[in-house]
Structure 1
Amino acid sequence: MRTRRTSGAVRRDDIRQHNLSLVLSHVHRDGALTRAELTQRLHLSRSTVGALVAELALLELVQEVVPTGGVGVGRPSHVVAPHAAGPYAVGVDVDIAHVTVAAITLGGTIAAREVIATDGVVQPDGLVRLVVDALAPLRSAVASPGRMSGVGVSVPGTVDVTSRCVGVAPNLGWEGVPLGEMLQDVLPPQVPVVLGNDADLAVLAEHQRGNARDCDDVVFLIGRIGVGAGIIINGVPVHGRDGRAGEIGHNVLDPTGPLCHCGKHGCIETFLGESALLDLAGRRLPRTDARVAALFADARDGDTAALGAVKAAAETLGRTIANLLNTLNPERVILGGSMGEVLDLARPEVEAAVTRYTFGAAGPGVVLSLPAFGPDSALVGAGEVAFTALLADPR
């Protein structure tokens, strides 16, 4: 008896959509590319690439420029770039001290931003109002104010990306917050809202267009008030069952250590968080962005207490990185926020601790680096996920 094949044929329109998505994704990620480069990358014919580019141009997603001059022989290949009046995404980066809302164009350029101080208190309802209030000035700063493609939100806590619910965000005091639905309720239905953990979005940005583009096994260790890790293994983001993967800040280093706001004692965060760094320097005042910046500035100027605090943190940071290497075996660890400052100021101490605590040898090729986007990695990552729907179906 012959078995009937149950898989349906792929429709021509589905193939067309897939190919449009490929072209737009390459231009979005890499910027201006020639038709010849797109043809080579996508293994499509020149005529097919030309037709795809023409359709994307009609949709005002890309624009073409014909180069002039030069010494080459024959007709120069058209250059395809993101459209100057194309759609934009809104990226939102939530931190305990401030919320940043930015308009990010195709190609990943931050066109405008609004930074709103929070005085250390961010409530879900208040955050929704902040985002909505920030949209008007952002619209006035972009070339196509009516073409908002999506809103991506970076949160310092666990996020279920399917339900768009914030599970636990201890530094914000949130638990079980349906933030995605709350934002979707006040935005047009055709504007999707996507949520992500801040470290997860930071590693996504660095992997797609930053300092991890050339490797598929990478961890982004972010230090703010808390400490978290974004993880990509074999090119695939690791979120865990309900978004809790990477909550390394609440791994316990010393059960007799300081009390953490999560209720446990001796979490990594109590040794490496920004409040802990201030305490190590003898600056036992409430944490503010200005005080943290002053600590690192003073350390650079040779202040004994400040530099001593940084070097003390370097030992713990090295142990933390070694644990990541032993568990995940990445080829690159990117350190952002205050962790990046510690690496910049005390790299020899960090690397020595990594060597001491890594099983065997860290091995050649393991790189500790700073993020390409500085403090904006999570914000850029929020913009990336906000473009997901458009990139999947440019029509």
Structure 2
Amino acid sequence: MTEALSAPSPDAVPTRPSLGSNLDGVRQHNLGAVLRLVHGIAGRSRSELTRATGLSRSTIGALVAELAALGLVSEQEPRESTGVGRPSPIVVANPKVVVVTVNPEVDGVNVGLVGLDGTVHRRVRHATAEPPTAEEAARIVANVLEGFKALFDSGLRATGIGAAVPGSVREADGVVRMAPHLEWVDEPFAALLEEATGLPALVANDASLGANAEHLFGAGRGIGDLIYLNGGPGGIGGGVITRALPLAGSSGYAGELGHTLVNSGGSRCHCGAIGCLETEVSQARLLDVLGLDDADGLDEAMGRLDGAGRAEVERQLRYLAVAIRNAVNILNPRRVVLGGFLGVLLDAAPQVLDAAVREQSLTASAEQVDIVRAELGPEVLTVGAAELAFTRLVADPTALHR
């Protein structure tokens, strides 16, 4: 299966500070700046790269030539132009330079291959009868990659692994400090993946990666400050984008909005606290009230709510509004993006949630914020994990050949 991601907003990268520089000694930085601008989209012209980076035309030409020699980009015929002068060639990322994406879940491990241009070459799911251990998950990834041999023989080059894990991950070394639904505690998942596959691996919290994916390619395109909340069978995760960059915190644990206090008289959460968002806003509770076995029919069921269903939806929206209010007052986002079953709740009664958030929030913080449903759907973690894995390559494009 081969798919292409929609292009990120042109504003997503230029808002980052110091994108390009003509100073000597920053060639690596400038190579990364150009690669970042063409990565994940259909391509940019040389003139667009010149405007976006502030570099000279000759410098852009030299950088593009070096990236092409490294096998990371190529140039195509220019688009038709009605302007004056010769149109610029289009610089496109090489789809055969790929990363491996990994997302372990309670009932399986998802593995994908995503190209530097955003093409999703392959996505497979290896089901498990129970939550896989970290060691088992790493072995599954290695076995799946063996099954991709024909793709690698056809010219795909894997540069690394990005893993999206539903838990708290230490940024420095990819140790999963706690993933309660997987029953992982202090698991060195990055090291296990590297040992099993021979590829460098980066690991991060799944919701934080989802936030970045929606920021670059989904409902947050062009929005520099946003909050992302995703709800699924394992609970609620969150991520924050501020000034167009992911908010990680001192060790990578920032964004755990699922553990915001919303009900001081509520149930005890698995984290040990009382009344967390994910204990009050729960997919399992919603499915139970609606008489559903799984979330596949959730959107349809929302269109025919009875009294008990409507009451449960509004109850969960009230608690969700408390969490969003807290985040709006503290972080002052421009947009709140809701994924998973939280997006379904929003669509069921958008006015209820919006009114509750605005009623409780500081006026100045709430007056410009909007609340929208996520766009990437089930692809969000594949996209987010791929972006994580490409971090090293974009930071130093020459590393691929060292």
TM-score bracket for this pair, using the shorter chain length: 0.7 to 0.9
Query: What amino acid maps onto 2:208 in structure 1?
Result: D
Out of 95, 102, 118, the residue aligned to residue 108 of structure 1 is: 118
Q: 2:222 and 2:283 mapped to 1: Cα distance? A: 31
Shift of 1:13: 7.9
Aligned length: 377
TM-score by length of 1: 0.87
Q: 2:79 and 2:280 mapped to 1: Cα distance? A: 58
Out of 393, 396, 399, the residue aligned to residue 393 of structure 1 is: 396
Structure 2 equivalent of residue 292 of structure 1 = 295
Runs of 4+ in 1 over 6 A off after TM superposition: 10-13
C-alpha distance after superposition, 1:153-183 (max 9, x if no partner) = 0011111110210111112111111111111
Query: What amino acid maps onto 1:208 in structure 2?
Result: L
Contact 1:103-1:138 within 8 A present in 2 as well: no
C-alpha distance after superposition, 1:271-303 (max 9, x if no partner) = 1122232244466xxxxxx61223332123445
Out of 144, 158, 166, the residue aligned to residue 134 of structure 1 is: 144
C-alpha distance after superposition, 1:237-276 (max 9, x if no partner) = 2223333322222233334323433344432111112223
Structure 2 equivalent of residue 96 of structure 1 = 106
1:166 aligns with 2:176: yes
Give structure 1 stretches of 5+ with no counterpart: 1-9, 284-289
TM-score by length of 2: 0.86
Contact 1:210-1:372 within 8 A present in 2 as well: yes
Match of 1:387, SS state, is helix
Out of 356, 375, 386, the residue aligned to residue 378 of structure 2 is: 375
Shift of 1:386: 0.4
Q: 1:296 and 1:12 mapped to 2: Cα distance? A: 54
Contact 2:34-2:63 within 8 A present in 1 as well: yes
**CA 1:262–1:73 in structure 2 vs 1: closer, same or farther (change >3 Å)?**
closer
Instruction: Give the greater-gyration-radius structure (CA).
Output: 1
Shift of 1:35: 0.9
C-alpha distance after superposition, 1:35-66 (max 9, x if no partner) = 11111212222222122212212222111112
Match of 1:140, SS state, is helix
1:35 aligns with 2:46: yes
Out of 355-364 and 178-187, give the one that drifted further. Answer: 355-364
Match of 2:224, SS state, is coil
Contact 1:112-1:141 within 8 A present in 2 as well: no
Out of 60, 66, 89, the residue aligned to residue 49 of structure 1 is: 60
1:9-28 alignment to 2 at 5 Å?
14-28=25-39
**CA 1:343–1:68 in structure 2 vs 1: closer, same or farther (change >3 Å)?**
closer
Structure 2 equivalent of residue 287 of structure 1 = none
Query: What amino acid maps onto 2:68 in structure 1?
Result: A
Q: 2:213 and 2:80 mapped to 1: Cα distance? A: 36
Match of 1:262, SS state, is coil
Structure 2 equivalent of residue 7 of structure 1 = none
Q: 2:88 and 2:247 mapped to 1: Cα distance? A: 39
Q: 1:223 and 1:73 mapped to 2: Cα distance? A: 51
C-alpha distance after superposition, 1:87-120 (max 9, x if no partner) = 1011112232442211111122222101223345
Contact 2:40-2:117 within 8 A present in 1 as well: yes
Query: What amino acid maps onto 1:310 in structure 2?
Result: V
Q: 1:53 and 1:45 mapped to 2: Cα distance? A: 12
Give structure 2 stretches of 5+ with no counterpart: 1-20
**CA 1:74–1:253 in structure 2 vs 1: closer, same or farther (change >3 Å)?**
closer
Alpha-carbon RMSD across the aligned residues, in angstroms, is: 2.5
